[in-house]
Amino acid sequence: MKKILFVLLSATLGNLVFSQKNDLALIPEPVSVTQGSGSFVLNASTKVLHAPPSLDTIANMLAARLKQATGFRITTGLQTQNQSNKNTIALVLTGDASIPKEGYQLEVTANNVSLKAKDPSGIFYGIQTLLQLLPKEIESASAATAKWEIPVVKISDHPRFGWRGLMLDVSRHFFPKEEVKKFIDQMSRYKFNVLHWHLTDDQGWRVEIKSLPKLTEVGAWRVNKTGTFGRFSVPAADEPRDYGGFYTQDDIREIVQYAKERQINILPEIDVPGHSMAAIAAYPELTCTPGTYVVNSGEQFMIWPPGGHFYGTVDNSLCPANEKVYEFMDKVFTEIAQLFPFEYIHMGGDETARNFWEKSDAIKALMQKEKLANLDEVQSYFVKRMEKIINGKGKKMIGWDEILQGGLAPNAAVMSWRNMQHGAEAAKQGHEVVMTPTEFVYLDYMQSDVTMEPPVYASLRLKKTYQFDPLPEGVDPKWIKGGQGNLWTEQVYNIRQVQYMIWPRAFALSEVLWSPKDKKNWNALVPKIEAQFKRFDVAKIKYAPSMYDPDLKVKKVDSTNVSVELIPEIEGLTLHYSFDNSYPDEFYPSYKQPLTVPKDASLMRVISYRNGKPVGRMISITVAELKKRAGIK
């Protein structure tokens, strides 16, 4: 009887251990996590086994990653029924119908690690989770010293959405293929599976089209400018146009294969009919407005009146009334379709300045011939012809939500960027939708106060990104493919700044797109992000510390005075401030309520502390700027 009671008690205690709170700091949060006690110890004798042989590439990638950080000579091999599984990491494809697409089951015991999935993508995503269970030193580029232990755990996991994307704009600034690969590596670790590659725009054409060589001979190069994009001086005729670059078709194939091995599809974007200055510089006959054109170097050529319709001072749009345009696009999409195996091609369709179309006799003749009532229908005519070309290459077309204007092409998918409503409208019409609204996922937006960030159109805090839900109420989920974050690179000059803008907001987006909705928890996410920061420090990946910066909310007190409210984004911070031009530290006053700015002060400084140590950046803002924000001149 005592033995029976002991066995029952042991089982009960074991269950209690396995139901303890998850504190593993995994991003994105898995569907189900059950922690046990103890750990699996990785050592020089550990083997990575796999079955079937088709997992060979993934197994070798895991072994190489482990070897790089630990220094252990991890070997791989096929798993057989008769061999011992002790001290092994086993990767196995299974026909288990309970595992969803891209899902996996990971079990770590003291003796071995077992990872099962129905498809290779599930195995790959399970490996990313497994790597996050290892110490942060696993991110090291060379052999490091650590206790190479993986906690005992059972994880069952699968994604909420099938489209989990990040967009990289390589037109505004060109990023060489090795840097694109780094971007792919980083996004793959957090289970993103679509790289939206913005390859063409007014500032550069980045993909080799062999039948149209001037696209890269002319369209890939511009004058080098440094400063604030959109405010650059107009280049002189004698300034060298030697800044830029492009990807050869061999480069493209190499990058596509690299992404495929990391379970990422690449969506190529050729942005037309607007945003086409680079193409027009190479082939000026494609516009409605005869003239000589050059690739834009960042000088202003679009005007955005407050509350009004934008217009161009230079025609940067292809001409829908010109049959040469359709011959041109057929050549482009023929080669693009051959280079990119993904089922979709993005044709842009956004922000077309129509003021030159309004003046064009050719456009007026087209409208009369095709019975087009307005310029929305003119663009719709163009978009529908793009869809026929793209469909003719065996691909589906996707475009920005402006393609809804004038009537949506019959089979087009919509990428909804201006808001959620356009995507909801397209879904209700029976079209596939990827949600990517500026309000939540434009990763080029400032992450903190404008005094701390390169100036862009708006701000987007980390917490706001985490509030994103791609599925609007009242919309059939089958039409919402998922979502993505977009990084436009007008103000992003190098790969370090790419990293700074992406992380940590992409951590939040990763969890939004992968994890169950009921798993979202802001207060739980913050310490997980901080754990990832430590891993990034080891990996030497840059990230923004903006979540430690408070928001500054300024109010007008009277005709000459203002008050300032400091709003922390995360809990547990103490905000110290000064108005006497000095640099505050933990011994300065701490913020408790809105501050009235002293009458004669000229500068306010704020810094965030936690547990007696500075965690935020020193914010310095002039009182003149505070008054300006409150509407005091």
127 lies in the same domain as 170: no
Q: Is residue 2 part of a domain?
A: no
Q: Tell me the longest C-alpha to C-alpha distance in the chain.
A: 99
- DSSP, collapsed to helix, strand or coil, labels residue 17 as helix
Q: Is residue 10 part of a domain?
A: no
pLDDT for the residue numbered 577: 98
Q: Which residues pair with 90 in a beta bridge?
A: 49, 114
pLDDT for the residue numbered 23: 81
| CATH code of the domain covering residue 595 | 2.60.40
- Residues 321, 367: Cα–Cα separation, whole Å: 9
Rg, the chain, Cα only: 27
311 lies in the same domain as 334: yes
Q: Considering only CA atoms, which of 79, 164, 172, 97 is closest in space to residue 128?
A: 164
449 lies in the same domain as 559: no
Residues 6+ apart with CB under 8 A from 498: 168, 175, 179, 183, 487, 489, 492
Which region holds residue 581: left if phi is over 0, alpha if psi is between -120 and 50, else beta? left
Q: Is residue 109 part of a domain?
A: yes
Q: Considering only CA atoms, which of 414, 451, 448 is closest in space to residue 433?
A: 414
CB 316 within 8 A of CB 274: yes
Q: Considering only CA atoms, which of 494, 508, 496 is closest in space to residue 441?
A: 508
Which residues form the catalytic set?
Answer: 201, 275, 351
CB 610 within 8 A of CB 574: yes
484 lies in the same domain as 368: yes
205 lies in the same domain as 252: yes
In the chain, how many H helices and how many E strands?
A: 18, 28
497 lies in the same domain as 586: no
Q: Is residue 216 part of a domain?
A: yes
| CATH code of the domain covering residue 101 | 3.30.379.10
pLDDT for the residue numbered 21: 45
- Residues 221, 241: Cα–Cα separation, whole Å: 6
108 lies in the same domain as 48: yes
524 lies in the same domain as 574: no
| CATH code of the domain covering residue 501 | 3.20.20.80
Domain that holds residue 538: 163-543
The string of pLDDT tens digits covering residues 471-495 is 999 999 999 999 999 999 999 999 9
Looking at the structure of the chain, the number of domains it has is 3
182 lies in the same domain as 153: no
pLDDT for the residue numbered 11: 40
Point out the domain boundary residue: 543, 572, 589.
543
Q: Is residue 466 part of a domain?
A: yes
475 lies in the same domain as 425: yes
Point out the domain boundary residue: 543, 569, 598.
543
Point out the domain boundary residue: 492, 520, 543.
543
Q: Is residue 501 part of a domain?
A: yes
Residues of the chain with pLDDT under 70: 1-22
Q: Is residue 13 part of a domain?
A: no
pLDDT for the residue numbered 83: 75
407 lies in the same domain as 536: yes
Residue type, 155: I
- Determine the Cα angle at 260 with ends 258 and 262, to 5°: 80
Q: Is residue 5 part of a domain?
A: no
287 lies in the same domain as 434: yes
The string of pLDDT tens digits covering residues 370-423 is 999 999 999 999 999 999 999 999 999 999 999 999 999 999 999 999 999 999
